Amino acid sequence: MRYIKNEIFSGYNGEPIKIQAPTVFTPEIVEVIEANVSDIFLVILNNYEPMPGEVLRLQEIGPLGDMLKKFKRQLTIKSMLELTDEEHAVLLKISQWMLPKCPKIIMLSALIILELIEDASKKEPIGELASA
């Protein structure tokens, strides 16, 4: 397993990135929120459209679907994202393909995002965040 702290994501300029997201009780109404790490990953994965040479293997499709469910806005900010090694590999692969094609504010933060994924801890979190 790999662990990434799901906190408010600060972009390349040090400011939190704001995105549009449906409200909890009325999904047809959109609000502007400060994105947490799982929201950024969700934007990247939702924008994935395979181009020549950017196709997932059959065994990578399951982890992609699992991550899409996992990254929905239901996670609290003080939680840890738990990724299997397969999910981690697929997230890194798709991020490397998609970051140059993402909206400008996310694209400019590409190095921060990739570093966050690459540095995902293999150690299980302890203390307050483990129980969140």
Domain assignment present for residue 31? The answer is no
Domain assignment present for residue 24? The answer is no
What is the model's pTM?
A: 0.82
Q: What is the pLDDT along the chain (132 residues), one digit of tens a residue?
A: 999 988 899 999 999 998 887 766 776 777 888 889 998 998 899 888 888 888 899 999 999 999 988 887 655 656 888 899 999 999 999 999 999 888 888 889 999 999 999 999 887 776 544 444
Cβ neighbour number for residue 104 with a 10 Å cutoff: 7
CA Rg value for the chain: 15
* C-alpha–C-alpha distance, residues 42 and 72, integer Å: 7
- Please count the structural domains in the chain: 1
Question: 94 lies in which domain range?
Answer: 2-6+36-122
Domain assignment present for residue 127? The answer is no
